[in-house]
Structure 1
């Protein structure tokens, strides 16, 4: 019986193929790929045309041997929060005109996943809402360029941070609610340590409640992000004899669930209970939500994180801690008629 041979697989397009098609040297193509200093626009365009024509893609492992793979790791603690999509949009927009590509991963604790990404020669990392102690984050920054989004490390010189002013954001919520006549303002927070943004939001809430003369009404309920825990915590608040007249939820995801629970209990919003979220995600505008929320410019956070990481990779050593000024976007969920 004649041996059946598998069809020959087409070979991968190489840098030599690109050089031959463009009529330039291999060294010239290499300079374009490395974005080396002194490469003329005409040479760069000629090589790019040939790369597109031949569908050439640089082999990441080979580029890593030369010192850089142009891949960045973006790590999320979970994918339930729609605000993370806004941040990722900002990151990808910032990378659109660069050679860098973003690879995303999801992990409650970043260490093991980061190790796996480092093994794959990624050039740097953006950690969003990291659930790690400061010492571990600083240790990681000693190994690889690192930017944190949604975590405060103001004294850290080895890494960069991008945040909104979380304390101010919480103050704006309390101020808005007090101005609209609410007095028993409770906060639904996260029972997760060591989240520094949660600490800042709780602090801002406490400070502004005191400033508004509402210190005796301070009430913070902490819950995990699991649906059952959130529903149970909110129902318990709303069933209490001294039910608050307003809820400040630490994120829109929780606030939307609060709207659902309150509606299911037959409560009117905002007549019986005002509800305010944080992040100003796209779901706030939905007619069934009309959710007042704090806008912390997720896309801008992502843009700045990508910028800072590339600067780190390219040699900047002085730390930068970028802070966005939040604003409150008022909708029907907190406006008394």
Structure 2
């Protein structure tokens, strides 16, 4: 970066890049805007000069020209390791483009913090990718202001924004079928207190599959809040009840790992005394002390597809896309019975 007489560095401009690359300012501008018709050799020459000079586009100036090449990624929290997979996937989609994702944390689900949304729009971000929000009316209003893609929202009837989801109904069915095939009958689902559409889909899949397999008398959904204290309290109540289940299907791995901790503390053998299945297949499932069977909904694929759709939206696509990821079950020790099954409790 050049330095002025007072010692303060001057910002490198596109004129400097153009001079170094021996091309016109208009050519540099086209490369920066990813305009149609720029040859690969021109793009390579300009990017080489940008790297050599340390050129960094001025976001505010780019915004005045119509694009800042920044995207807002809004997550419910940072605690659930599944969200790291979504971030990785979105970054994969943006690799090789000029787009950068800036992250915000929303603590008001199922709605979205209006202040956070307004802040991102006011900073002229080109579009938003929102995870876990389910207020349909609010999302439609946001989509009228900026390109929008959501993850974890089954309102696929809308016509103004895109959705990317796991097939949550089938995910629950996979977990139930696996447990039944492994010899378990009395299966409880530990879910979340929420009106989220993904929770409703997953709970419906659990109930319907239990009924389909003739185990409706054992079907039981217990709801807890997201806090570790409430999850552990609820898990303890389930595991110490006189009619405790043989297996628990947990809403997320984040919850399932806490259930494993409580079960171990109570002296319950996993999976002989209690089988546990999670959802998300995060990296912690593979740890030997957990060896957690989990439904893989590919957070990386969700993030990659959502970011790709958002760029398409920004570039002008208006027809809505609603993408569904097919889940798969990854079986580990937490649900593989090692001793003969005990009789299922009477209903």
Counterparts of 1:36 and 1:183 in 2: how far apart (Å)? 60
Counterparts of 2:16 and 2:32 in 1: how far apart (Å)? 14
Local SS of the residue matching 2:101: strand
Matching residue of 1:201: 202
Matching residue of 1:119: 122
Local SS of the residue matching 2:248: strand
Matches within 5 A, 1:204-283: 204-283=205-284
Local SS of the residue matching 1:158: coil
Counterparts of 1:41 and 1:242 in 2: how far apart (Å)? 68
Q: How far has the Cα of 1:41 moved from its partner? A: 2.0
CA displacement 1:219-277 (0-9 Å, x = unmatched): 11111111110110000111110000100000000000000000000100001000000
Matching residue of 1:29: 28
- Residue 159 (structure 2) pairs with residue 160 (structure 1): no
Counterparts of 2:276 and 2:68 in 1: how far apart (Å)? 46
Counterparts of 2:6 and 2:221 in 1: how far apart (Å)? 66
CA displacement 1:64-106 (0-9 Å, x = unmatched): 0000100000000111110110111000011001111110111
Local SS of the residue matching 2:145: coil
Q: How far has the Cα of 1:32 moved from its partner? A: 1.2
Task: Answer with 25-34 or 255-264: which moved more.
Answer: 25-34
Counterparts of 2:23 and 2:276 in 1: how far apart (Å)? 64
Matching residue of 1:101: 100
Counterparts of 2:57 and 2:25 in 1: how far apart (Å)? 13
Q: How far has the Cα of 1:42 moved from its partner? A: 2.0
TM-score, length-scaled by structure 1: 0.96
Local SS of the residue matching 2:41: helix
CA displacement 1:124-183 (0-9 Å, x = unmatched): 0111111x4111111111111000001111111100000110000001111110111111
Q: How far has the Cα of 1:7 moved from its partner? A: 5.4
Runs (5+) with no aligned partner, structure 1: 1-5
Local SS of the residue matching 1:220: strand
- Residue 128 (structure 2) pairs with residue 129 (structure 1): no
Local SS of the residue matching 2:329: strand
Q: How many residues align?
A: 330
Runs (5+) with no aligned partner, structure 2: 339-347
Task: Answer with 158-167 or 33-42: which moved more.
Answer: 33-42
Local SS of the residue matching 2:223: strand
